[in-house]
A and B are shown apart, each in its own frame.
Chain A
Amino acid sequence: MGLSFKLTPRDVPSVKMQVLVPIMVTALTLLSGLAVFVAIGVDVGDAFTAYFIEPLSTLNGVAEWLLKALPLCLIALGLAVAYRANVWNIGAEGQLVMGGVFATSTMVLLQGTVHSGVLAVIMVFAGVLGGMLWAGLAAWMRTRFNANEILTTLMLVYVAQSVLQYVLVGSAASTAVLQDPNGAGFPQSATFPLEATLPLLASWMTLFEGTRLHVGIFLLFLIVPAFWVLMNKSFIGYQMRVAGLAPAAANYAGFSGKRLVWLVMLISGAMAGLAGALELVGPVGQLQDSWRPGYGFTAIIVAFLGRLNPIGIVLASLLMALLMLGGEALQLAMSLPKSVSSLFQGLLLIFLLGADVLVNYRVSKK
């Protein structure tokens, strides 16, 4: 329509374009971000300094950057596994919230009965379970009733947010089970006691004094390699790729589609629940009804930007964490809404999807 060009599929993806596209996409995103700031009359220099420079200019800023990259990376790894198998879990945000609810419930139940130092770990495991439960619901509905998982996982995000409200906000007919009894009726849990939080790096590395960085970050050294092996070296990973690329061939080879859906859903739910629990036992330390970290949605972009590949996802989560951090800085500095960062994230993904045509197709005149 109007633009006359023809796309011819390449035999193999272009290596040159695979390198060029991310650079092009980043440049295009920055340029259009610039255009938006000019259009709404924001000082471009100030906005860009506030967005990209200031957040990383202090050690605390760097720590906050890593703290944001951690959940993004964890969730995106799980999502990448699902997307590779053509299972579209887009409700990680809900699974994350349930992770937080489960972790907090565990604290309320077990506080004072277990050895200190163990409680936080149990809470993290409970969070993983919560995420798996929420994703498992969607897996059950997909395998038992064929219900489209894009819609069920997303609808369950809204339901999870209502659950969060339900357990924290009291009403005439129900008691808010997780609400702080000494909290003057505020819709939040009690502040987590010391044994329900993870140790800070600052406690034995003076370099990190004053930052909120916690030991949870070390999980990445375990989880990233594990996912690399799972995706690239295991038989399950092979089944996922076949199911994603050629569902008919997967059926022919006798791979069970249903088992695969369950598996990838539970893995992605577990990672989202883990991220939610870590967020609470780490930097947040309290469950609030307004808890909407947004990591679950941003991680979708991280997964694509990292090309569904563990190493790529680590890098993409760092970039996206910077965009989120910048969004918050901009909110403070220039009272722009925090969701500005989702504008940048959306632009980045749209440019990436559009530019990927150059990797897989040869463009010629009609």
Chain B
Amino acid sequence: MDIFLTSLIASVLLAAMPLVLAGMGELITEKAGVLNLGVEGMMLMGAVSSFAVALWSGSAWLGVLAGVCVGMLFAALFAFLVVRLLTNQVATGLALTILTTGLSALLGIKFVGQSVTGFTALPIPFLADVPVLGEVFKQSLLAYLSIALVVFLAWWLYHTPSGLLLRAVGESPNSAHAIGFDVVKVRYGATILGGALSGLAGAFISLVQFKAWQEGITGGVGWIAVALVVFATWHPSRLIFGALLFGLMRSMGFAVQAANASVQDILDHSASFASGVLGFLTNAQVLNALPYMATVVILCWISRDWQKIKLNAPASLGQPYNG
């Protein structure tokens, strides 16, 4: 069971990081009143460009930088359309995702099958030696920095004047405008910051999680990140908790395979009904579908209290503002 737990913890963190990053980016964007459904697309572009640059330059850090910049670029394009040209936010986000699905596949065709060294684990002395839980402290430097960044952003959003301004714009753009703030500029900023985090999440997937590129490598993580924001009712702390939960579900498959022996052991020693249920639950297809089914179920659970959602959602979310 030890091997099972250790590999499970390791893969949960790997799977949770892109979710935390992209989810935090979308949370900030939505807090300013902009609904960006292009997260999956910005992540794909971040993943392919960071992989390309890391492969070409030999430096994973340059790769990360490229991923972040490309994420910002596509977010800026999105912001220009919805903030400046007042296009429908849902349709524009979908268009962005469809466009980048094709573009990333086209740009990445040469990189399929290649691999990068990416980031190496940097164990924290003493803490990493603790059995099982020590796995938490054997992450890459990028992961530690990302965690620090997310914690900082969560603090920034609620404890600084600029964070307050961003939230005010999302709650009531007219009031923010009336007291002299530039709504358009704030929405641009929030959307581009969201894009940077999505790009970083993409870089994390191609340089840390898989150390490879393939078409559609993000596999819906961007969409789950959008769902996570609702799940968290727009609160950063709940977002982090949610990401860990979804990370757990995404990594069940990997972990079960890695520790297949121990599951077989349970199957052999349990009653036939229980082993039937367990057999179904550990079926590869069921495990693959688990994070998506869980997203749907949890979304229903969270959304059932409509008042709570209305109270927590930024009041101007998804609505254009013609300043």
Contacts and interface: CB of A to CB of B under 8 A. Distances in A.
A90 B292 contact: no
Contacts of B54: none
Nearest to B79: A1
B85 A354 contact: yes
Chain B's interface size range is 35 or more
Interface string B280-323: 10111110110011011001110110100100000000000010
B223 interface: yes
A158 B283 contact: no
A353 B95 contact: yes
B103 interface: yes
A155 B188 contact: no
Nearest to A40: B106
Contacts of A339: 101-102, 105-106, 215
Contact of A151 (B86, B101, B223, B322): B223
B99 A350 contact: yes
A144 B303 CA distance: 10
Chain B contact residues, majority secondary structure: helix
Given A141-B300, A162-B289, A174-B283, A1 B184 contact: yes
A356 B215 CA distance: 31
A343 B248 CA distance: 33
Chain A contact residues, majority secondary structure: helix
B289 A346 contact: no
Nearest to B279: A173
A356 B77 CA distance: 16
A166 B87 CA distance: 40
Interface centre among B37, B105, B109, B285, by most chain A C-beta atoms within 10 angstroms, is: B285
A207 B300 CA distance: 53
B295 A151 contact: yes
Interface string A325-366: 000000000001101111111110110011011000100000
A36 B100 CA distance: 13
B92 interface: yes
Contacts of A354: 81, 85, 87
B220 interface: yes
A293 B276 CA distance: 34
Contact of A90 (B94, B295, B303): B94
Interface string A1-29: 10100010100000000000000000000
B311 to A, nearest CB: 13
Interface in B207-231: 215, 220, 223-224, 226-227, 230
A343 B102 contact: yes
A36 B101 CA distance: 14
Contacts of A297: 98
B186 to A, nearest CB: 11
B292 A159 contact: yes
Given A147-B300, A173-B282, A346 B95 contact: yes
A345 B88 CA distance: 17
A344 B215 CA distance: 17
A165 B87 contact: no
B303 to A, nearest CB: 4
Contact of A165 (B103, B224, B285, B293): B285
Interface in A155-207: 155-156, 158-159, 162-163, 165-166, 169, 171-174
Contact of B300 (A88, A145, A159): A145
A141 B296 contact: yes
**A-B pairs with lowest CB-CB distance, top 10:** A346-B99, A343-B102, A173-B279, A162-B289, A342-B102, A145-B300, A349-B95, A346-B98, A339-B105, A158-B292
Given A9-B322, A145-B303, A350-B92, 12 more contacts: A40-B106, A145-B301, A145-B304, A146-B306, A158-B220, A171-B284, A343-B102, A346-B97, A346-B101, A349-B95, A353-B85, A353-B88
29 contacts: A1-B185, A40-B106, A145-B299, A146-B306, A147-B299, A148-B230, A151-B226, A151-B295, A151-B299, A155-B295, A158-B220, A162-B285, A169-B284, A172-B279, A173-B282, A300-B98, A337-B106, A337-B109, A339-B102, A339-B106, A339-B215, A342-B105, A343-B99, A344-B102, A345-B98, A346-B99, A350-B81, A353-B85, A356-B87
